[in-house]
Amino acid sequence: MKVAVVGATGMVGQVMLSILAERDFPVTELIPVASEKSVGKEIDFKGNKYKVVNLETAVKRKPEIALFSAGGETSLEWAPKFAEAGTTVIDNSSAWRMDPTKKLIVPEINAEALTEDDKIIANPNCSTIQLVLTLKPLHDKFKIKRVIVSTYQSITGTGVKAVQQLESEYNNEKAEMAYPYPIHKNALPHCDVFLENDYTKEEMKLTHETKKILNDDSVLVSATAVRIPVVGGHSESVNIEFENDFEISDIKQILKDFPGITLQDNPTVNVYPMPIYAEGKNDVFVGRIRKDHSHPRALNMWIVADNLRKGAATNAIQIAEYLLKVNA
């Protein structure tokens, strides 16, 4: 099993390597891939050293699976070349997510939609993954009409430059700016670029990707995405309106029973999800579940997940694990 990790020296690529090792994915040969400036560097993986190669070399080595986390332009150019060589590409960028010919997969929800013909598989946006994982079982039971979500997103979603900016500002040092404003002691209502409708690209990803993964265009989604000076993961405040009546006890039980979700909901003893707890874990954590006192068929909840793990690397590797299982 030859596995290429494209973007192996980046934040998500490094987490992909860690999770491949943690989950004992059957890698017989690792092909770490990065930009030309990193070619020749050595990557340690499970006690062995592998040299970083460029994309052209990686394609020629014909890996069975290529995990991509190197940006949309790289994916658009190179994912088809890997696919033509017989490689199954699992892509973490936004390049293929809304392509109607490509599957957008969260394994606990829709992995069964995959076939052997799917050579380029899209990994959803980090904030979308943790949202839809909680929405899916509730939609199946009570039929969701509308979702209003506000995200509080970790700087790690931006990358190393943002982490360096926060650290520099914290230490009162001059920072190379990943954001248009300071992030230390601040909150920026600005994730990704602004679009013509005055929403950001991140906010519209939440809207469009949720509909595609749930396979239901009738679900209305309105999002506001905020960047905060946190490292451990993304948090989301979510209001859900249902078509059908529900009991909070049933909501909690449904979420508790759904794979990949950990319920943390006991406010009387201050138990609720936080990024400081979610960091380094693969589950999505849900709590603060309560009736919306302004609407008889709506509720509020709080969702947290490590955006580099379930929001990116873990989800991609779970897709690869599913492909291995069904093709065994």
List residues with catalytic annotation: 126, 234
CA atoms of 323 and 42, how far apart (whole Å):
29
CA atoms of 215 and 230, how far apart (whole Å):
32
Residue with tokens 């190393």: 160
Could you tell me the CA-to-CA distances from 74 to 55, 99, 124, 237 in Å, in that order?
9, 16, 17, 33
Question: What DSSP designation does 104 have?
Answer: B
| Other C-beta atoms lying within 10 Å of the C-beta of residue 67 | 32
> 3-state class of 313 per DSSP?
helix
Helical packing angle, 126-142 and 201-214, nearest 10°: 40
| Other C-beta atoms lying within 10 Å of the C-beta of residue 171 | 9
